[in-house]
Structure 1
């Protein structure tokens, strides 16, 4: 899957993935490996939060960071969907 830089519309963004930071590539089949998905996805990485922090040392600051990243991801997915809406409406009218 080719990484697309900002400023381009992507049709068909289906999901957003909020993930913990990791330092090694994920194998095929893992949700953080874009080749595993048969559709495009938006990724938002939670920098500086580890699994032990999330499970055993969760602080209000971490909760706020997770919430902010979630809202940003939701806006990114929605923005890409809305950017393609005119194309989808035209395509649907041509099919009908």
Structure 2
């Protein structure tokens, strides 16, 4: 039992030492170091252009939705008017 405890403690110490050595060997990342590839400003798409295109698409979607709602409203109003007219006249008067 004593040997198992001793082996476990020595393994923990070895793992701790390996972890410390790993942390020491790793060099810190430079804050000024840029990651990835560098694209010249001329070839990068402008953020404002993307925002403008997005807003244009959103506006077109809103216009389509408004048109659909408007046409549905017209259809419903026509149905209501037709129903009101049909309710006013007896069916015998229509023939």
TM over 0.5: no
Q: Which has the higher helix share?
A: 2
| Greater RCO structure (CA 8 Å; 6+ sep) | 1
Larger Rg: 2
**TM-score, normalization: structure 1?**
0.32
Q: Which has the higher strand share?
A: 1
**TM-score, normalization: structure 2?**
0.32
